[in-house]
Amino acid sequence: MIIHANGIAHYVEATGGGPTLLFIHPPLLPGAIFNPQREGLTDRFRVVIPDLRGHGRSSPSSSEWNFTHVIDDLRQILDQLNVDKVWLCGYSAGGSAAYEMAFTFPDKVKGLIQIGAVPGIDAKDTALQRLVRSALSMTRPGCKELLSLLGTMVNTKQKRNFWPLLQASRQSNGFDAACYYRAYYHYNCLDRLEQLQKPILLVYGEKDRLFGKYAEIMSARLPDCSTAWISKARHELPCNRPEELNELIRQFLSHHE
């Protein structure tokens, strides 16, 4: 379906019934990245997966944006779906948008499931800084197609997920992907984590050294936090390790719903 918010026509998939899970995708890789979650969780939950502005089948932006704009888009989408409260599920950079939504609209958020998230890129973390800057540089014309291909190849090894994700990623707008990367690069909520009085699940791949090192930092500050590690997995969990990820989501929510 198409839902209009702040002048953007957002493509949104909303399926299933029960408590609502709102999934937030990373830059360039739109909602199709969560196809395994849509398929595996709708028997018990209402799964809402929007393509953020300029991504996938959503219309592009005409000016620079950051997470303030995105979370208001999401708030309006939820209002139009008549959804009162949600569980936020952010993947990678989508976790930063999820954090900001929880801070800004706490009455809308029951809790968070953060998949490979960071509270902000540490000033000394040159490896992650370099990765984001490199991806940002590839959003320009002539390079975005390669970035879409590389991102899809890393994020799924299953053919049935590969082609839908690649096609959706190729539809994403380079300018909007660049806005997303810049918002992620500059975002930091580490000093506010103690304010999040909500249940939070942090999920990482056991071999995710680049992002996984932030788990201990966040769990030490979040008042109600659990951390789960998926064995022998890297950062790219939604499509590569969907069974384990979906089961962790089910188990976590069974204690809070």
Region 169-173: mean pLDDT is 95
3-class state of residue 142 by DSSP: coil
The domain total for the chain is 1
- Confidence label for 171 from pLDDT (cuts 50, 70 and 90): very high
Region 160-165: mean pLDDT is 93
Q: What percent of the chain has pLDDT over 90?
A: 97
- The predicted pLDDT at position 257 comes to 85
pLDDT for 159 beyond 90? no
Q: Running DSSP on this structure, what letter comes out for residue 159?
A: H
Of 103, 96, 101, 155, nearest to 121 by C-alpha is 96
Domain coverage including residue 16:
2-254
Question: Domain of 218: which CATH number?
Answer: 3.40.50.1820
- The predicted pLDDT at position 157 comes to 83
- The predicted pLDDT at position 81 comes to 98
- The predicted pLDDT at position 22 comes to 98
Tell me the per-residue pLDDT of 101-134, one tens digit each, with 9 for 90 and over: 999 999 999 999 999 999 999 999 999 999 999 9
The C-alpha atoms of residue 217 and residue 7 are separated, in whole angstroms, by: 38
The residues with which 227 forms a beta bridge, in sequence order, are 202
Region 94-100: mean pLDDT is 98
The C-alpha angle with vertex 106 and arms to 102 and 109, in degrees rounded to 5, equals 70
Q: Do the Cβ atoms of 18 and 45 come closer than 8 Å?
A: yes
In whole angstroms, how far apart are CA 118 and each of 16, 87, 124, 217, 240? 29, 18, 14, 9, 20
Region 77-99: mean pLDDT is 98
Of 199, 196, 217, 219, nearest to 102 by C-alpha is 196
The C-alpha angle with vertex 117 and arms to 114 and 214, in degrees rounded to 5, equals 120
Whole-model pTM: value is 0.97
The C-alpha angle with vertex 217 and arms to 215 and 221, in degrees rounded to 5, equals 110
Region 56-79: mean pLDDT is 97
Tell me the per-residue pLDDT of 31-40, one tens digit each, with 9 for 90 and over: 999 999 999 9
